[in-house]
């Protein structure tokens, strides 16, 4: 059942991942899912999930089939759903259309469905393969924010920082604009498009009045304009009305934030259907999120500039700690964008426990 895929299966599932990828950032609270229906190496139909409340990937893929898919193989990046939610169970449709084999990228972390489809489909005489290895990893990666939200009630949180080589966010006067170059800023735009909400602290709002909207040249054809939620974390309740619009949540007003409990604030955000949050600063908010263990991904740009001024604004104003207890991360990507270096990390779990003097 759970096995590494052969090259032909891998090719089809890779196509399903591509289809899902195009709608990352548009499907919350649902996951991005892609599906391909194929027979003997030929694609009969394909589709993806575009928006919560609309048909699932399997439904769209089967509806687009150019011939009767009876006996064909359905490749889907996520285990097909087996109970009725906003839409009917995909497992029923798969049985009705007499699909011969289903290849699943990864199991659904949603407790309503988790693992049920395999037994259901097999009982109906359908061959089921669940991917293993790199392909499965890719499919899990695709739904990481959904998985965290559905299992823990917390959104996946990415913290983005743009720093000088000596680790400063801004110079002593607070000037932080244009630390990084246009290529780095363009990359941030694509990241914004992939998340549900963009969060900043009130200091950043007052200093920069950022629109925080992705300047989308989107590949996605949605009928609605793409507007992300802005979350303004106003510990000091000092946000000006002119910085609030109809896509803004002010944490103290809309998310019950008491100025201290960031986790409760993020839980409130999750109940609003936000699975994926990008925090763009400032330093103090980022540090508080790191200290609270709420950060899932750290995206740091290092600009080739050095300030050498101890009065400049530190990138990581966390509580000082000895090397043995340093906050530690695992890199998963590094690249150069124009003049700047992008380093991406995941937090290293329980490093305080493993470190020794
Ligand atoms: C799939 N294919 O394309 C998606 C799935 O309320 P509903 O009916 O949209 O169901 C949402 C749940 O269905 C969601 O939490 C997840 O477990 C699963 N999403 N399943 O087979 C899809 N989007
Ligand atoms: Zn479904």
> Which residue's CA is the nearest one to ligand 1's atom 15?
30
Nearest CA to ligand 1 atom 18: 81
Please tell me the predicted confidence (pLDDT) of residue 355.
Answer: 38
The mean pLDDT of the chain is: 91
Could you tell me the CATH superfamily of domain 7-148? Cytidine Deaminase, domain 2 (3.40.140.10)
In the predicted model, is pLDDT for residue 356 greater than 60?
no
Q: What is the pLDDT of residue 66?
A: 95
Question: Residue 87 CA: which ligand 1 atom is closest?
Answer: 8
Strands 101-106 and 73-78: parallel
Tens of pLDDT, residue by residue over 242-298, are 888 888 999 999 999 998 999 999 999 999 999 999 999 889 999 999 999 999 999
Instruction: Average the pLDDT over 227-236 and give the result.
Output: 89
Q: What pLDDT score was predicted for residue 351?
A: 41
Question: Superfamily assignment of 153-347 in CATH?
Answer: Dihydrofolate Reductase, subunit A (3.40.430.10)
What residue spans in the chain does CATH classification 3.40.430.10 cover? 153-347
The pLDDT confidence band at residue 225, using thresholds 50, 70 and 90, is: low
Exposed e or buried b per residue across 4-39, where buried means at least 16 C-beta atoms within 10 angstroms of its C-beta: ebeeebbebbbbbbebbbbbbbbbbbbbbbbbbbbe
Q: Packing angle between helix 133-142 and helix 144-152, nearest 10 degrees?
A: 70
116 Cα distance to chain centroid:
25
- Kindly identify the ligand whose nearest atom is closest to the C-alpha of 77: 1
pLDDT at 329: 96
> Distance from the CA of 54 to the center of ligand 1, in angstroms?
10
Q: What is the pLDDT of residue 222?
A: 52
Model confidence over 36-68: pLDDT tens digits? 999 999 999 999 999 999 999 999 999 999 999
């Amino acid at each position: 059942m759970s096995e590494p895929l052969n090259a032909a299966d891998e090719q089809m599932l890779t196509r399903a991942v591509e289809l899902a990828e195009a709608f990352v950032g548009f499907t919350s609270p649902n996951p991005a899912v892609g599906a391909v229906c194929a027979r003997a190496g030929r694609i009969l139909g394909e589709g993806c999930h575009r928006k919560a409340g609309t048909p699932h990937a399997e439904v769209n893929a089967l509806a687009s089939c150019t011939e009767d898919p009876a006996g064909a193989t359905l490749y889907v990046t996520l285990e097909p759903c087996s109970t009725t939610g906003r839409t009917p169970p995909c497992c029923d449709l798969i049985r009705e259309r007499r699909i011969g084999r289903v290849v699943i990228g990864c199991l659904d972390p949603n407790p309503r469905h988790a693992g049920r489809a395999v037994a259901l489909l097999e009982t109906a005489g359908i061959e089921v393969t669940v991917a293993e290895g790199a392909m499965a990893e890719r499919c899990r990666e695709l739904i990481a924010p959904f998985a965290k939200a559905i299992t823990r009630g917390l959104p996946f949180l990415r913290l983005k920082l743009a720093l000088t080589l000596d680790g400063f966010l801004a110079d002593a006067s607070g000037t932080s604009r244009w630390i990084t170059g246009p290529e780095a800023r363009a990359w941030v735009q694509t990241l914004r498009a992939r998340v549900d909400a963009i969060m900043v602290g009130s200091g950043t709002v007052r200093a920069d009045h950022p629109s925080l909207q992705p300047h989308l040249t989107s590949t996605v054809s949605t009928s609605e304009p793409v507007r992300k939620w802005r979350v303004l974390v106003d510990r000091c309740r000092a946000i000006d009305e002119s910085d609030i619009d109809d896509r803004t949540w002010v944490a103290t007003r809309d998310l019950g934030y008491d100025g201290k409990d960031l986790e409760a604030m993020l839980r409130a955000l999750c109940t609003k259907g936000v699975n994926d949050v990008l925090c763009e600063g400032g330093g103090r908010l980022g540090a508080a999120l790191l200290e609270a263990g709420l950060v899932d991904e750290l995206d740091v740009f290092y600009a080739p500039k050095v300030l050498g001024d101890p009065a400049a604004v530190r990138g990581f104003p966390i509580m000082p700690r000895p090397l043995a207890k340093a906050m530690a991360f695992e890199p998963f990507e590094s690249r150069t964008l124009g003049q700047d270096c992008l380093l991406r990390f995941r937090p290293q779990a329980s490093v305080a426990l493993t470190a020794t003097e």
